[in-house]
């Protein structure tokens, strides 16, 4: 992947998100690189917004974190739906299913 000399704004935002998730999980750069089958150098470039990020890179990182790719590309400070998605990350799967059913019922009632 090409490496930039200055960060591209959106790539830097995604990289900052990836770094925050990595630190939240107490993962080293090497541990995430291993879990996502990326080199440490490329991952460092991604975190600093210097690498061109492909869909494949996003998919591998999401797999390394064990989360859906959308969690790498949503920013809670920018959007109410993203704030909700961020909160969902902290709930057990059973609670997420329960909330999904409640939301589905509300949406169906509006149709």
Give the model confidence (pLDDT) of 54-74 as tens digits.
999 999 999 999 999 999 999
pLDDT at 1: 52
CB-count burial class (<10 Å; 0-12, 13-18, 19+) for 26: exposed
Do the Cβ atoms of 32 and 61 come closer than 8 Å?
yes
- Residue 99: its pLDDT value, please? 94
pTM of this prediction? Answer: 0.81
Contact 25, 62 (CB under 8 A): no
- % of the chain surpassing 90 pLDDT: 75
How confident is the model at residue 52, as a pLDDT?
A: 82
């Amino acid at each position: 992947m090409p490496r930039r000399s200055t960060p591209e704004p959106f790539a830097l935002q995604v990289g900052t998100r990836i770094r925050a998730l990595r630190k939240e999980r107490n993962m080293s750069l090497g541990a995430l690189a291993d879990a996502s089958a990326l080199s440490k150098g490329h991952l460092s470039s991604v975190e600093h917004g210097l690498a061109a990020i492909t869909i494949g890179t996003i998919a591998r990182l999401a797999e390394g974190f064990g989360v859906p790719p959308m969690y790498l590309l949503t920013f809670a400070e920018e959007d109410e739906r993203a704030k909700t998605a961020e909160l969902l990350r902290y709930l057990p799967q059973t609670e997420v299913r329960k909330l999904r059913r409640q939301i589905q019922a509300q949406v169906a009632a509006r149709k």
